[in-house]
Amino acid sequence: MKVAVVGATGLVGTKMLQVLAERNFPVTELLPVASEKSIGKEVEFKGKGYKVVGMKDAIAAKPAVAIFSAGGGTSLEWAPKFAEAGITVIDNSSAWRMDPTKPLVVPEINADILTKNEKIIANPNCSTIQMVVALNPLHKKYNIKRIVVSTYQSVTGTGVKAVSQLMNERNGVVGERAYKYPIDLNVIPQIDVFLENGYTKEEMKMVNETKKIMRDDAIRVTSTTVRIPVVGGHSEAVNVEFSKDFDLIEVKNILQQSPGVVVVDDISNQRYPMPMDAHEKDDVFVGRLRRDESHPNTLNMWIVSDNLRKGAATNAVQIAEYLLGKGLL
């Protein structure tokens, strides 16, 4: 199978190559694609070097699938051109997520909406993915009314420049900055730009994408997204109100049996999910499960996942795996 990875030299693109190799996706020919300045550079995949090619050459090569992680502008311009050539695009940017004609997919939840006709498939926001993987099985049982989520997001969500800023500050080196403010020994309560309603774009992504993926516009969601000086993954404090009452033991059992979820909830031994434990893993880790004593039918939970893997690369590859398994590629 011929596979293109668009944005192959970036942080997420590199992780996509790693995940494709680890999961033994049946790549017979790899087409690493990047911007004009990267054409001719070499990337490694399964111990072999591959020359980076441009967009037009990639389309001409007619891969079965193109996994995009090159930013919204690039996706808006080029994804339709790949699709017109009959190539299935799985796009990791925000460009197509809220387009009503494009599926927004987390395979554990709604891969069943995919058909052979879908040529542009949106990969959700990293912080949304991990939350809905944990919440959807509980929604099926208890029916979610409202979600209040506060995130603690890794600098890797911003990219290489942000990781460099953190490490430079930690080592007392003056260098290029991804953020307006220092990130080491600091917390920045802004991810993406502010909108007219006072929320950031990242916060509204969580609101809107959750409803679309879980196929329920009645769920009310409010979000505060925060950048912290961490590299391993994103963490979320989630307060979720259900229509029905729940039993905590049953909640744990449901989560333990849910695909892609690992429950780490043993407070007697101080065991709970942390980014350092989720790093380089594909699961969504859930812990600190407890009843909200201030409000009926309401659960508090702590959700952690590697944002470059399940939050981006792994979810995209899982979509490709589903398409392949169902004969849709």
Taking the C-alpha atoms of residue 214 and residue 191, their distance in angstroms, rounded to an integer, is: 23
Is 139 assigned a catalytic role?
Answer: no
Of 10, 9, 47, 41, residue with least CA distance to 27: 47
Task: Compute the distance between CA of residue 319 and CA of residue 323 in angstroms, rounded to an integer.
Answer: 6
Catalytic choice (139, 234, 279, 295)? 234
Q: How far apart are CA 119 and CA 99, in angstroms?
A: 13
Query: Which one of the listed residues 126, 139, 279, 295 is annotated catalytic?
Result: 126
Count, in order, helices (H) and strands (E) of the chain. 10, 13
Please choose, from the candidates 26, 30, 111, 103, the residue with its C-alpha nearest in 3D space to the C-alpha of residue 66. Answer: 30
CA 233/CA 244 separation, integer angstroms: 32
For residue 224, CA distances in Å to 90, 216, 322 come to 27, 21, 32
Catalytically annotated residues = 126, 234
